[in-house]
Structure formats: structure tokens, C-alpha cells
Structure 1
């Protein structure tokens, strides 16, 4: 058909499919790209004058008796509400209706399977085609694993089980789950994959993860330095020849070992001296930290050891007063110390235990207070 029903050059020629050689019926495609291969040549009354495909859900123009697809009607009315066959005006409200009887006539037309060229021999009524296609073993489909292969439904099971590059398998060596397409790259890094020794020793196949240990510790063909290399021997040989090398010259190797032991002994002595020095420094730092903690604490805990001895010295007048460790009232406050006269002092001598808060100067010596003393709470406890 060179012109459409409205006299314009046809732009839908590609939508019309003709009967292949050797086939009796006609082939039409609907708007969903489903092929209809009719067993007999298709009459023009079954074609939509708008889309040139087989009518789908036909609507009837009451005025002229022509029809079009229900899906083609809105576009037809939007451009020009005229019949595309005879040009008569279409009144959508009164002159357009769904033609159910004609749809039944369409559904009764005999068609062949869309995949007859693939080998399907099914034929039946048009209304049954869609149901047949759901089960047709010749239906082309893409692999559900997205491997990119398109094949017939009948071949899908074998493809998924034996051919699909995305099918799940297990590595023959480490047995972890992988896909078929990952197998090659996985085997290049698989720790259990068996490899021959690169030195050609008689060990046989060795797991990749054990190869480094084999070469460093076991392989008789691996070239390694003499065990006395750290002592000064620069001999290199295959592992199997090292025993012979040491056996041929044991005296020089023994001398190297002795020199190394002596050098290590000197180094050890030096390290011990350094360790002792650092130990003393750490002890000094610990004492400094302990002093600072007491100095900056908001509460002084003064524990007096050997009280009987200190009381005896006070009674004899040798050391009537003892002082606590210094402390600060605040971080930037006064530097204080507590003084204690175990046997009393002045008029309280031999009568009362005297406890006094004392201001300290920068050299740690008691000085005369030049400030109004802050309130201090004192608590004396006998050691249990």
C-alpha cells in the first residue's frame, strides 16, 4: 500500500510483514511487537486503518461501519476526528462503541505459533496464542542470571546447569563457592591450588600457600646463604650442598661463631648498662610524679610511719617537730605543709599533740605567714 487511508504517503510500511515464501497465511505485528502468523490470508477488515496492524480490542464507528484499535482512537480523535477510510466525521459521544462481536470473530481466526520458523508446530485460535506462548518450548528468552546469552526455553535448564558462565560452582581445591566465570581468576590466587616447585625438586605439586615455606625451609634445590652468613661467611649454594661446605671447613666457621658470640656478649653488657640507667630514670620519674600528685591534690593524706620512734625522739628533744610532704592549696595557690609536735610544744609540752598548718617558701623551709590562713579541716586517725 503506497498511501494511507487519508491519502498521505505511508510511514508504517515497516510494521507490515508479508507471508514468507512457502507459507499460506499472512503475518502481522501488533503494537506490542507480537507476531501473528495467520493460517489463511488476512482480510483487510481485520487490519486497523490507523496502525496497519491486526485490530486489537476494536472500536466501531457507527456512522460508516469502519473500525480501529481502541489504543489508536485517542490519537485519531486528537489530530482529526474523521474516519481514516472514508473521511466521515466521528462523534465520539454517540458514534463510537466497543465492537465485542467483531472481537470474538477476530479471536476465532486460526494462527500459527510466532516461533514456527524455530520448529514449533502449534496452531490454534488467536485467543489461545498468548496462553500457548507462556509454555512454548521454542520461546526465546534471556538467561535469568544475566550472562548475556539468549536461548530457547527448552534449552534453559541445560544452560543453567552446564553452560552458564554465572552458574555457581565450588573450587576443586579450596571448595569455596564461586561462579564459572570467576574460576580462572580465582585459580590464579587460590591458596590451595597445586603448583610444581619452581626449582624442579622431587616434592611434586605443592599448595600455593605452602610454597614460600617450602622454598625457604625445605627445598633442596633452593639457593641459600651459609648458616654462618651473619658471622661473616659469604658462601651461597643450594641447600643440599651446604652440609658439605660446612664439613669441609669447620674451623673457620667455628672461629666466625666465636667472634660473633663475643661481639654479642659485649653488646649485651652495654645493653644491660643502658637498661639499668633507664630503670633508675624511670624510678626518679615515678617519685617525681608521686610528689606532684601529692603537691597538687586537694586533700593531703599524711601517713606517719614508725610513730613510736618519732615520739621517742620528740621526748628527748632531738626532733620535736616533724613536717608533712608539701602541698598547694590550689594549682596557683600557697605552698603549704603540715607540722606536727608529737610531744607538744611550749606550754602544751608533754600535754597535747600539736598540729599546725605552715607556709613554705620556695626552698621548702617554713616561713612566717603573711596571709589570712584558709580554713583547714583536720582528722587524725590511729592506724589499725
Structure 2
């Protein structure tokens, strides 16, 4: 055990403080030869028959130790402030307070728990590596406060070595002076050290003095090298500052170049996108939409991850209406899960200010049969000019309008689905400015898309004229037959009369 630790140790009379553990005396023992007192537990720490006083260095034999009960009784009325809390009282009741309120204290330096306050105090005094302690040479001028685990590093520091060298020189000088002339006998009497032991100490001190001188010279040399290194370091720091500034300037320049490159890349990307759009766009009122990854898009539509997809824009003419298609592969509204829904979307264009609104032209859709049978799915609708969908667009897109039940979903479940091949489908839209007759639409969509629009339109007109002529011939033949039948019936009637 060690002494009592309190918050008010610094105001308690020094005679009540153990000169070994520097705490309030616990079970005080008096050393008869020098009169100083120590804790009984601190005395027990020393082995052998002689006890050395931590205050004056005087040695006392075990037989000359006095358990000072009277002094202990005097201490019982000392005012105490608990080292753990704000409790105040007298020493007599301090231990009871500690046992009742601080039975398992924790070290505030390393967070280790202990079974008693005394164990904690002992831990702090002797073993806690995270406790801040004073240098053993404090009285000699080294007042550094360091963690106990850093003491070894502190002992080899310049500051400590200089104080140690000074202390050894002083001790050597004192010993040399005391040993000189005829003072050796009186020195023996004061210290109870025999001549051989004192001579050994003197030799040791001389050796230490030589070693310290060597160390001092080495320290001086190291100090010179340190100054040189410091000067070089300052030069390096200045160069580093200049270099850092230069790097920052270059970085700013590089950032500017990078920003310009990014802008250039964005401009190129935008230009490329515009060129691609121009290449894909149609400017004659017709558009073929190639839809890839159809199965993936159907799955996305069923899971409602992406219910619809948009085509790229197309135009009725280079300065005409801007339009696109919107496709629901799993249907929209009442057609959901039963049909695919195909819609027409009027978009805001650059030339809307000079175009006629509402948009009133018939829109024809065709889902291509990609086999030789060419059983295309064809349907059309006429715009409701009262609907907002066909007024002049005020935003990027108007509300889509078209055919909710364009084609049944069952066609995609067929084993040899003719409308989706290699996971691709084609949808064509025609803005019908000429009111193309419905019977001729299969012929229109059977024409090869590889032909130019002008050639296709010529062939369509020729086909319309041909069918009109055939219809006229058919109508004329029908009239002749009806006339002949009328004459025949009249002759029969006259014959009967």
C-alpha cells in the first residue's frame, strides 16, 4: 500500500507527507536516526536490514524504526478533499468514504480498473505508462514533464544529458573537495561509508566525468551539425515554397486547359450528336423506327421500370412540323397487358411560328412483318383538332395521342413471331398529306424502303391511277351488263304479251 491521495495535498503540512511516495502518510513510521517519517508500506518496499530515508539519505536499521501511533492520532483530524469527488471531511473517515463510494476506481490516464483506491494510487505512482511524471533530475534543473513510457527517450535528449553532465561534474567536484586534505575522516563520520567504498565511488565518478566530457563534446558536434542541417532545411523550405508556388501556377494553367478541353469535347459531342440526329432524322413526313433489344424493353415495360420509349424526332419537311413516336410495349391504360400502344407526339419546332395549327393531317402506322408474307399491321387515325395534343406546342412535347390498341401482345408470344426478328422490330409512320385511299395502304408499305421518297410517291400515284382505271372499267362493264339485262327482261315481257 501507499499513502492517501487527496486533492488538497499541496496545502497540507509537509511533515504529514511521506518522503517516499509523496502522499499523505498511511500508518506512519519514524526513522529514529534522522527523525523523518515514511508510510509503513513504503518502508516495507526496501529490502535488507537498513532503510534509506528518501528525504535525507540517512540509513536506519530495522531495529531503529518506530511505529508512530501518536503522530497517526494527530493526523486523524486533518481536513481532506477526496481525490475522486467533491467530498470533504477528516482523515479518520476518509477510508470509509473511499470504500463506500470508490470501490472500483478507474485510472484517468489509461482507463484501467482497480479493486481499491490504494491499488490505483500505487499504479499511478509506479507503473502507469500514460501518467505524466516529473524528471528525476528536477532538483538539478531538468523540469521536463513527460509520460512515463517516454522517460527512456527523455533520458537521451539534449536537455536531460546537459543537466546530467552538469550534475555529475558538481558531484565529482564535491567529492574531490571533501576527500582532499584531512576532511575525509569527517566525511566518513557523516556518511558511515568506509574508505574502500568511497574510493570506489570516486573512481566511478572520475570515469563518469570522462564519459560525460566525451558526451558533451559529441553533443557540441551534433549541435553544430544540427545547425548546419537547420540552415539547409531552411534553404530547402524556401526552394520548396517557390516550387510549390510554381506548381500551383502550372496547376491553374493546366486546370484552365483541362476546362477548355472539356468544353471542346462537349462541343464536339454536341456537334456529333447533332450530325447523328441529322443523319437519322427524316424530313419528308415519313419515318422508320428501328427498335433494338425488344425483349429487354418488354421486360422493363412489364416491371414498370420503363413503361414507354420515344423515337428520335422526324419532320414533315425541312421547315415543317417536328414529331416523334411513343411506344408502350406492354400497353397503356385500358390496353395494359393486352396490346401494344402506339402514339404520335407533336413537338416544339423551330418553324412553328409560320406553320398552321391545329395539326390536322391523317397519321398512318405500320408494324412490319419481316418475313416474305408481308402481313404488316397497319392502322391510322385522324387528329381531333379540338384536342390540346394537336395545338401549337408550348413545351418540348404535347400530350401523346394515337392508337392504344395498336396490336395484340399475343403476336409477340408466337413461336415464329414475324414482327420481331433478331430482337429487332420496325415501325413506320406516314403523315398522309394526300389522303391516300385505305385499300392501297398494303401496297404502300410493301414498297422497298430502299427506294427514294420521290420514286415511292410516283409508284403510289401510278398504282392509284391504275386502280381507278380498273374501277372505271369495272363500273362500265357492270353498267353494260345491267343495261343488257334490262333489255332482255323487256323483250321477254313483250313476248309474253
TM-score by length of 2: 0.23
TM-score by length of 1: 0.28
Greater relative contact order (Cα < 8 A, sep 6+): 2
